[in-house]
Structure 1
Amino acid sequence: MSKVLVVGSINMDLVAQVDQFPRLGETLFGRSFKTYHGGKGANQAVAASRLGAEVTMIGRVGDDAFGQELTASLIAEGVNTEWIQRSANTTSGIAMITLAGSDNAIIVVPGANADLSVEDLLAAENAFRDCDVVIAQFESPLATIEMAAQLAQSHGKPFILNPAPAMPLSPALLAQVALLTPNEFELSIALGTPENEWQAALQQYPGQILMTAGKDGVWYTTESGELRQQTSFNVNAVDTTGAGDTFNGALAAFWHLGLSEASRIACAAGALSVTRAGAQGGMPTLAELNSFLAGDTK
């Protein structure tokens, strides 16, 4: 199993369940409210750890009760939190999530995540040396993510970038990415190309982009430019929150198996994650994933 280094966000998710999304200016009664541990970085770290990877995380939390709880939760999940810092006089990051059926709408307030700095990464350079693969997202400052890519490259480690929330990618950063994992919308923003030209974009960067496509699974190209699809798995969806993070965490955990097999396993993990509520609450263990895959004929 891969040794995974995650650079990214740590949030508390505040989740309200409603019958339908409110319109602008409208107040609706909700069905329920719960808190869950989240943040794209922490989610991917937990996903990889539950699947048996040795995971280290670099991130920041606030000096509040959420920060204490979030760090303790990562430790309980087997994640190495040596490089998670606490920002003084700052709240931890939060995500306000509204669920309507199997759909979600999310507002993220970065809090301490915005303090994750280039200096934090340089102080943790040994973590880059000791890992097998590095994965990051865009819920941390761009300069910090660019430094993560540079450190990964300098230590000869593949750098997986999940470009969410979506933003344009510089040619310099893209050149340092071993694998970009956007959805169709994020791919369009990242490369500045029309959404309906995603196939051309994948073939322009052979072996470097894997595009997630929801119920259609994922699309990617081989290093020779051959377009391939890994189809999705049929499950009864309860909550889609965190499915993409589960996919990315699993992809990093099984990176050593090659893109084809890693993407198949990651699709299965992502499918399992939507069968239970919560971003991290739905993430499968290795035993659950193996059991699920035992009946797979794809």
Structure 2
Amino acid sequence: MNTLTKPILVVGSLNMDLVVTVDELPQKGETIFGKTFTTFPGGKGGNQAVAAAKLGSKVTMVGAVGRDEFGERLRCSLLQSGVDASYVSLAEISTGTALITVDQKGANSIVVVPGANYACCQQDIDSALEEAEVPGILLVQNEIPETIVEYTIREAKGKGWTTILNPAPARLLSEELLSMIDILIPNETEALVLTGGKAGAEDEAAKVLLDRGAAAVIITLGNKGALCCTVEQNQQIFPYKVDAVDTTAAGDAYVGALATALAEGKTVLESAKFAAAVAAIAVTRPGAQPSLPWRNEVDEFIRKQEGQQ
């Protein structure tokens, strides 16, 4: 890792993913047979922390797990990927879980039970910010309490950190909070919830969010790539063509990779292009954290793609 690379602080969720594969996602009221059942370490916060660490970043995770087997497995996954888990506290409530159904085309539906994620506390956030040698990149998501999200962004922004919010699951954001966000990264569905817009009008949704105070907005569009927007310009980021197996952690792979590239001094646009490569690799593998690639894999993937152009 380059000694000039900024640190990354992730404040967010840690879940054990309980994954069932099916031929097709069930309809309302329908009972179907699953094909396989597997457990994977996950949670949007944990996934983004692992993604960035496997790409070579110095990453610290703030969150909470229960005093149970799932909690221990999640902490081990962080440590094995190179994440500093010193600020992952033990709560007197069960570890968060996510019930995930994945169809044969890689599409999924997810139900999250927060559990210990709602025990994420301000004291751990304060300590992590104080311990950082220099201001870096902050990653936050919406799978922890709203008050903690707002507190984290406010405190980090005041200390000179670059703030990134992945607003998933989507909930309305105040203009005060948006004004403290350097990069907002919703997917197309979340962008519509945040703005009350209509499907297919992602550029309009981005403009609304920029007008409300966000410095930059990147709307991820699945197999259509992403839209990277600032006040100065909108830029379509085209996806890499791959055969998707499981899209569960694609968005988290993207966010973690974007933070890594920013921490290395790349521009937002350059970072978005790098993130597209990381997400492309992730969807070709099953599971959340196990699907996230190491840096050498990403570098090789990009070299091969460029060689085919």
TM-score (norm 2): 0.91
| Match among 36, 40, 48 for residue 40 of structure 2 | 36
| Match among 81, 84, 89 for residue 85 of structure 2 | 81
Amino acid at match of 1:287: N
| 1:145 and 2:149 aligned | yes
How far the C-alpha of 1:122 sits from its partner, in A, is 2.6
| 1:219 and 2:227 aligned | yes
SS at match of 2:216: coil
| Match among 153, 167, 180 for residue 176 of structure 1 | 180
Name the CA shift for 1:280/1:9 in 2 (closer, same or farther; >3 Å): same
RMSD of Structure 2 on Structure 1 (CA): 1.7
SS at match of 2:176: helix
Q: Which runs of 5+ in 2 are unaligned?
A: none
Q: In the alignment, which residue of structure 2 is the partner of 1:294?
A: 303
Q: In the alignment, which residue of structure 2 is the partner of 1:136?
A: 140
How far the C-alpha of 1:276 sits from its partner, in A, is 0.8
Amino acid at match of 1:146: E
How far the C-alpha of 1:121 sits from its partner, in A, is 1.9
Name the CA shift for 1:76/1:103 in 2 (closer, same or farther; >3 Å): same
Aligned partners of 1:104 and 1:125: how far apart in 2?
A: 35
SS at match of 1:21: coil
CA contact (8 A) 1:128 1:152 kept: no
Aligned partners of 2:94 and 2:107: how far apart in 1?
A: 28
Q: In the alignment, which residue of structure 2 is the partner of 1:253?
A: 260
Amino acid at match of 1:235: V
Amino acid at match of 1:290: D
Aligned partners of 1:39 and 1:183: how far apart in 2?
A: 17
How far the C-alpha of 1:196 sits from its partner, in A, is 4.2
| 1:264 and 2:273 aligned | yes
| 1:5 and 2:12 aligned | no
Aligned partners of 1:100 and 1:131: how far apart in 2?
A: 41
Aligned partners of 1:21 and 1:261: how far apart in 2?
A: 36
Amino acid at match of 2:256: G
Q: In the alignment, which residue of structure 2 is the partner of 1:273?
A: 282
How far the C-alpha of 1:128 sits from its partner, in A, is 5.6
How far the C-alpha of 1:118 sits from its partner, in A, is 2.8
Q: Which runs of 5+ in 1 are unaligned?
A: none
How far the C-alpha of 1:108 sits from its partner, in A, is 0.3
Q: Deviations over 1:260-290 (max 9, x none)?
A: 1100000000000011111111111100000
How far the C-alpha of 1:227 sits from its partner, in A, is 1.4
Q: Deviations over 1:54-77 (max 9, x none)?
A: 100000000111111111111111
- Return 187-196 or 112-121, whichever deviates more: 187-196
| Match among 40, 64, 73 for residue 69 of structure 1 | 73
Amino acid at match of 1:238: V
How far the C-alpha of 1:147 sits from its partner, in A, is 0.8
| 1:231 and 2:238 aligned | yes
Aligned partners of 1:25 and 1:227: how far apart in 2?
A: 42
How far the C-alpha of 1:131 sits from its partner, in A, is 4.4
Aligned partners of 1:202 and 1:22: how far apart in 2?
A: 32
The number of aligned residues is 296
Aligned partners of 2:79 and 2:200: how far apart in 1?
A: 42
Aligned partners of 2:57 and 2:40: how far apart in 1?
A: 22
How far the C-alpha of 1:103 sits from its partner, in A, is 1.0
How far the C-alpha of 1:28 sits from its partner, in A, is 2.2
Identity %: 39
Aligned partners of 1:127 and 1:202: how far apart in 2?
A: 35
Q: Deviations over 1:129-154 (max 9, x none)?
A: 64410011000001000011111111
How far the C-alpha of 1:294 sits from its partner, in A, is 0.7
